[in-house]
Homo-oligomer: A and B are copies of this chain.
Amino acid sequence: MASKFAGRRNLDFLLYEVHDVQRLFSLPYYEEHSRETCDLAIDTAMKLAKNLLYPYLREMDEKEPVLEEGQVKVHPIVKTMMKEWGEGGWLSSALPFEADGQQLPVIVHMACNFLFAAANFSATGYSLLTAGAAHLILSHGTGDMKKMYIPRMVAGEWQGTMAMTEPQAGSSLSDITTRATPTDQGYYKIRGQKIFISAGDHDGVENIVHMMLAKIEGGPPGVKGISLFLVPKKRPGAGGSLEPNDVTVSAVYHKLGYRGCPITQLSIGDNDDCRGYLVGEPHKGLSYMFQMMNEARIGVGMQATGIASAAYYASLEYAAQRLQGRRLSTKDPVLPQVPIIEHADIRRMLLFQRAITEGSLSVILQSAIYADLVKASDGEDRERYELLLDLLTPVAKSYPSENGIMSVSQGLQILGGYGYCREFPLEQYYRDIRIHPIHEGTTTIQAMDLLGRKVVMKNGKALELFFEEVRGTIQAAAAFEELMPYCERLEEALEKCRVVTMHRLQFAMRGDLEKFLADATLYLELFGTVAVAWQWLAQGLAACRGLTGDCSDVNRRFYEGKLHTMRYFFHYEAPKIHGPASRLMESDGLTVEMNHSIFDD
């Protein structure tokens, strides 16, 4: 195990110097908070991550969950983790005071969870789902539900889940067939199958609370007939008793990674005795679920960034210690070998890892502070931040997931043969991170969401606001001469993004949806790179500001590291947009009009 999985200095820099969390404290919603309360949260999270989560990273991977007599058994430490998270208030920290939460800024909550994910990604499967489900109940549940479920969930006694996917309905939610039949008892009877349900059952908690999509009989077809139900594994009875609710686990999946958290297949209502409680109005379930899903999507990006961060520090530590070869300028075999961090290509790989990790984290925190500004403002401001958050969500989910995989892979490469061995941590990170472009909406789904929904919504207003935000950073950065070349590069990239967008929109205007969205994934790649380039310019700007005036040696080195990594991003990563951009400017419909019999051979 490496000695470090995340950088505290970096987190402070992003929170206070780049994203200016302080501005929240003057808004009424966050006036109870201050740098002190936020720092305390982060300090405590770091301790928990270090002392409780990180030490079990490998063990939880090696002892994967098993299904025994209908019960999923997980590593016993999960129970302790849930308890500690509950007692520390971590499962309710972002909930409002009125719901006994701490009303902690989302961005700080996100930073804390980033530390947890960097220390032990699988463990955060339990906590994030529980917090997300509790938040969903708070937003749309009945008073009784809130009273019964939220306190147990945020105490870490009951696990929350998101139960959407079915065998015949993965990406296509309109095809779910789980049925809800009304009764005159105030509940529905639920019957169906759910697959790939994370933390869908385990012995680290007393009960499981499924936030489940189902169709009420006789409702409209497709997504317009989907309702949201709260379906507990055990239903609370009189006097605090818990009765079985006819939800059984039919399988636990054996996965490439993410082995510390069980992914389950559920059979619901086999004995016609599963009770589900309607959340909100009938047939509006999908729109409610989007609250939890959007939080989960940014959460996935954050988890991917956490793994990438841990991998970065592990390979950095290895590169600084491992002696191998000599610099090309002094290649005499009688000279001693040098640490491999002296080699240019190793540095390039480390800079890649760092640029991806810290760029991703910055874009995640950008989304989080938009979420804070939505909560804390109203009127036009609120709409502005809502649009920006909506637009950025697929990017915050996908960029860290897709690029995190490459970043961890480069980290593994730095360790050479050792990177491929289970005695070193990189191979676990490599397995763990591969889930992220898949769950909570694949990259393809995110891409169609970005181009097909977010870019076009409100006549392109979100995109316009995004351009405004980026140009604001460029303007501020132009005050520093050394940032000028990067302001220009970002301006050019932004212009390319605009031109490409206009070109694709022609197809939408003609009603040719297939051609419009055929290369949406390349568009997401281009857009994501531009967004992260923006975040790097913002980091460069904060570093330049930090370097003016008095500055300790340690801080100077830190800011210079930021500037160097920003340069790396603009010289090596940003030019990668040219490939997808050139393809996106074409119009041939190569993947649309083909006959797939050409794959026969």
| Contact A422 B254, CB 8 Å, known A413-B443, A514-B344, A591-B351 | yes
CB distance from A18 to the nearest CB of B (A): 15
Whether A28 sits at the interface, judged by CB under 8 Å, is no
Contact with B along A557-584 (1 / 0, CB 8 A): 1101100110110011001111110110
Whether A509 sits at the interface, judged by CB under 8 Å, is no
Copies per assembly:
2
Contact with B along A410-432 (1 / 0, CB 8 A): 00110011011111000100110
| Most chain B Cβ neighbours within 10 Å, of A254, A517, A588, A600 | A600
Q: Are B348 and A591 in contact (CB under 8 A)?
A: yes
Give A333's nearest chain B residue, CB to CB. Answer: B222
Whether A191 sits at the interface, judged by CB under 8 Å, is no
Q: Are A575 and B583 in contact (CB under 8 A)?
A: yes
Whether A350 sits at the interface, judged by CB under 8 Å, is yes
Query: How far, in whole Å, are A521 and B599 apart by their CA atoms in the complex?
Result: 33
Give A578's nearest chain B residue, CB to CB. Answer: B578
Q: Are B328 and A417 in contact (CB under 8 A)?
A: no
Q: Are B575 and A333 in contact (CB under 8 A)?
A: no
| Contact A600 B561, CB 8 Å, known A444-B345, A591-B344, A591-B348 | yes
Give the interface segment out of A140-148, A171-179, A382-390: A171-179
Query: How far, in whole Å, are A565 and B596 apart by their CA atoms in the complex?
Result: 12
Q: Are B521 and A348 in contact (CB under 8 A)?
A: yes
Give A196's nearest chain B residue, CB to CB. Answer: B417
Q: Are A337 and B172 in contact (CB under 8 A)?
A: yes
Q: Please give, as numbers and ranges, the residues of chain B lying within 8 Å of A346 by CB-CB distance.
A: 444
| Contact A513 B350, CB 8 Å, known A170-B417, A324-B171 | no
Query: How far, in whole Å, are A507 and B329 apart by their CA atoms in the complex?
Result: 12
Q: Are B599 and A350 in contact (CB under 8 A)?
A: yes
Give A576's nearest chain B residue, CB to CB. Answer: B579
Whether A70 sits at the interface, judged by CB under 8 Å, is no
Query: How far, in whole Å, are A576 and B560 apart by their CA atoms in the complex?
Result: 30
Give A586's nearest chain B residue, CB to CB. Answer: B571
| Contact A572 B583, CB 8 Å, known A172-B325, A417-B438, A438-B416 | yes
Interface residues of A in 496-528 (CB under 8 A from B): 513-514, 517-522
CB distance from A568 to the nearest CB of B (A): 6
Query: How far, in whole Å, are A422 and B10 apart by their CA atoms in the complex?
Result: 37
CB distance from A508 to the nearest CB of B (A): 11
Whether A551 sits at the interface, judged by CB under 8 Å, is no
Query: How far, in whole Å, are A325 and B582 apart by their CA atoms in the complex?
Result: 29
Q: Please give, as numbers and ranges, the residues of chain B lying within 8 Å of A437 by CB-CB distance.
A: 413
Q: Are B514 and A333 in contact (CB under 8 A)?
A: no
Q: Are A413 and B442 in contact (CB under 8 A)?
A: yes
Give A324's nearest chain B residue, CB to CB. Answer: B172
CB distance from A213 to the nearest CB of B (A): 14
Q: Are B422 and A255 in contact (CB under 8 A)?
A: yes
| Contact A518 B599, CB 8 Å, known A168-B323, A325-B172, A578-B579 | no
Q: Please give, as numbers and ranges, the residues of chain B lying within 8 Å of A557 by CB-CB distance.
A: 597-598, 600
| The one of B171, B324, B348 that contacts A170, using a Cβ cutoff of 8 Å | B324
Whether A165 sits at the interface, judged by CB under 8 Å, is yes
Query: How far, in whole Å, are A597 and B586 apart by their CA atoms in the complex?
Result: 45
CB distance from A81 to the nearest CB of B (A): 23
Query: How far, in whole Å, are A398 and B420 apart by their CA atoms in the complex?
Result: 17
Q: List 21 A-B contacts (CB under 8 A).
A: A175-B324, A175-B325, A221-B333, A253-B417, A254-B421, A254-B422, A256-B430, A320-B599, A345-B444, A345-B447, A345-B591, A347-B596, A348-B521, A416-B442, A419-B438, A420-B434, A560-B598, A564-B590, A575-B582, A576-B579, A577-B579
> A residues bordering B, Cβ < 8 Å?
7, 9-10, 165, 168-172, 174-175, 195-196, 221-223, 253-258, 263, 316, 320, 323-329, 332-334, 337, 341-348, 350-351, 354, 405, 409, 412-413, 416-417, 419-423, 427, 430-431, 434-435, 437-439, 442-444, 447, 513-514, 517-522, 557-558, 560-561, 564-565, 567-568, 571-572, 575-580, 582-583, 586, 588, 590-592, 594, 596-601
